Amino acid sequence: MAREKKPAIIFIDEIDSLAGKRSDNEQDNTRRIKTEFLVQMQGVGKDTRGILTLGATNCPWDLDPAIRRRFVKRIYIPLPEKEARKGMFKLHVGNTPNELSDEDFEILAEKTP
């Protein structure tokens, strides 16, 4: 579908659940899904210009090496710093009536590494 509708962006969140390391004891249907995914990622004779595929994971070490090779770039996004977390809390509270002080937001930010 992405090839027909390009330009396209394909975003796969928690890609490790789809493309974890292959093992001898995994089920045949799981192995077939991974194989087909690898085939599609490779493009196999198809023009993949205009298609950007992104994958996100908290566990990159759990990805099958063949999948990792198909992603050209790897970008590490660290957890937010304390001030950013504080800002996120304030943003999500928004205009909701509350009695939180700036000190309360500071404490929340400290307790959420």
- The CATH number for 2-70, chosen from 3.40.50.300, 3.40.720.10, 3.30.1180.20, 3.30.70.1560, is 3.40.50.300
Which residues, 6+ apart, have CB-to-CB distance to 15 below 8 Å?
55, 56, 57, 63, 67
Residue-wise pLDDT for 9-33, tens only, equals 889 999 988 877 777 777 777 788 8
Nearest CA to 17 among 30, 28, 27, 29? Answer: 30
pLDDT at 4: 82
Domain boundaries, the chain: 2-70, 79-113
Question: Each residue's pLDDT tens digit in the chain (113 positions)?
Answer: 877 888 988 899 999 888 777 777 777 777 888 888 888 887 655 666 788 889 999 988 888 888 888 888 889 999 999 999 999 999 999 999 999 999 999 999 999 97
